Amino acid sequence: MTMVGYPQDVEQLYFDQDGILAHIAPNQLLIDLTTSTPSLAQKIANQATRLNVLALDAPVSGGDIGARDGTLTIMVGGHEQAFQAALPILKIIGQKINYFGTNGNGQHAKMANQIMIAATMVGLSEMLVYAHAAKLDIPKILQTVGSGSAANWSLTNYAPRILANDFAPGFYAKHLLKDLRIVLNETQKMGLSLPGTELAEQLYTKLVDDHNLGNEGTQALIKLWWDRA
């Protein structure tokens, strides 16, 4: 089981001269939990098949809280035999484990997840900025918004951190930016245009590249406005 930061790290880990695929034994099982590219997941699986090895791409969602509590959501792509073999292990760290078929589809599912996360973080930040500028009681507005149809995981878990000036990473801003760039690369291949995701990528690029805040949590997006608010 592997989980590293970027696709290039996965590539190195598996394909270097002294990497995993150079030393793997037949009938072993490879599970990469990194959020990476669908094409790289397929590349690993193809080489694994040649070596009589099964491989899964199994990126996760749930942040530091889900990892600590063993309640991650896991999105799995690969051969069903490999999925069934991995399931007892994945159940230790995950609460919801969903199988999406062929290799690379776990990564596609994670990209769908990240599209939603990015839009939610933009909405959360703008909601706080607006409420503050309107001189509303912020704890009361969070309680109100969180009890209606706008309730969501990011609001519950990240808004209190923002108000406490806690920008420690449950999930690194630089990693969300990496994911959004993967999404936009995949949408280009699909002939899709996702303007909301494009905006989120621009905002996180500004946060990470212009403000050098990539090692803070995704909730640091608020810093693009917070001082002005």
Catalytically annotated residues: 110
Can you point out the beta strands (E) in 42-86?
54-57, 60-61, 72-78
Collapsing DSSP to helix, strand or coil, 224 comes out as helix
- Helices assigned H by DSSP within 4-61: 7-15, 20-23, 38-50
Distance, in Å, from the CA atom of 214 to the CA atom of 176, rounded to the nearest integer, reads 9
Q: Do 62 and 117 touch, CB atoms closer than 8 A?
A: no
- Closest Cα to residue 53, out of 12, 99, 22, 7? 22
**Token pair recorded at residue 27:** 């009938």
| Residue 134: count of CB within 10 angstroms of its CB | 8
- Work out the burial of residue 8: count CB atoms within 10 Å of its CB; fewer than 13 is exposed, 13-18 middle, 19 or more buried: exposed
60-61 vs 72-78, strand pairing mode: antiparallel
Distance, in Å, from the CA atom of 188 to the CA atom of 131, rounded to the nearest integer, reads 36
**Token pair recorded at residue 108:** 């596609």
